[in-house]
Amino acid sequence: DAGVTQSPTHLIKTRGQQVTLRCSPKSGHDTVSWYQQALGQGPQFIFQYYEEEERQRGNFPDRFSGHQFPNYSSELNVNALLLGDSALYLCASRKTGGSSYNEQFFGPGTRLTVL
Amino acid sequence: KNEVEQSPQNLTAQEGEFITINCSYSVGISALHWLQQHPGGGIVSLFMLSSGKKKHGRLIATINIQEKHSSLHITASHPRDSAVYICAVKGGADGLTFGKGTHLIIQP
């Protein structure tokens, strides 16, 4: 099992551009969450996808959007990039279901630099 | 909104020392994670707790639900334990809420 995988590893963009980041969940997982981690800070929750729909969203503008595919993989799209969007973007997956909350597993992250 | 506070923010210790990292949160939760992040950025889940205590190798995590407090202990610390240790809680609907992390350096 490859665990949670993300691509690309690193990415450099300029202000105003658009970016797409990709995540494949751990085998057997159906729920994907995205987090933004600015330098020196803890990660911040962006949104969560389950059954191809956005189920929960953190305090991020509409420039941040996403998608989940039938195979449970997910994309994070950011439009009109700002310098402040430079961060490590983390994807986490878990299996939804049962009576208790199931553990999340994290990917290695995509380092986005906006110039 | 849950506030998650970790202490200390930075910790430097000698190899072999017993390490304790603390986490406090403000609102009741369903689960608490202890995570490890190395300089490359990837996060590894160490523990998920909802009550009591868990042990894995030299790592021990405890949680006191009434006091809204958790601790991560490392016994016989080693330089390879050097990393950022992050506490994250699962409460309401908005995913996980993270602390800012504790930067741990273990010197040989």
Region A86-109 average pLDDT: 84
In chain B, which residue's Cα lies nearest the Cα of A43? B98
Token pair 């110039």: residue: A115
Half-sphere exposure of A82 toward its Cβ, with a 13 Å CA cutoff?
A: 5
DSSP secondary structure letter of residue B106:
E
- pLDDT tens over chain B, length 108 residues: 778 999 999 999 999 999 999 999 988 888 899 999 987 777 888 999 989 999 999 999 999 999 999 999 999 999 999 999 999 998 766 678 899 999 999 999
- From CA B66, how far away is CA B77, in angstroms rounded? 29
Tokens of B13: 């210790």
For residue A48, the chain B residues in CB contact (below 8 A) are: 95
What integer pLDDT is reported at residue A6 of this predicted model? 95
Task: Look at residues B13, B16, B26, B36 and name the one whose alpha carbon lies nearest to residue B67.
Answer: B26
Token pair 């080693």: residue: B78
In chain B, which residue's Cα lies nearest the Cα of A57? B94
For residue A109, the chain B residues in CB contact (below 8 A) are: 41-43
The 10s digit of each residue's pLDDT in A35-83 is 999 988 889 999 999 999 999 899 999 999 999 999 999 999 999 999 9
Q: Tell me the count of A-B CB pairs closer than 8 A.
A: 64
SS3 of residue A63 by DSSP: coil
Half-sphere exposure of A43 toward its Cβ, with a 13 Å CA cutoff?
A: 33
DSSP secondary structure letter of residue A104:
P
Residue A86 sits at the chain B interface (C-beta within 8 Å): no
| B 5-24 → A contacts, CB under 8 A | none
Half-sphere exposure of B49 toward its Cβ, with a 13 Å CA cutoff?
A: 26
Q: What are the two backbone dihedrals, phi and then psi, of residue A13, each rounded to the nearest 5 degrees?
A: -130, 170
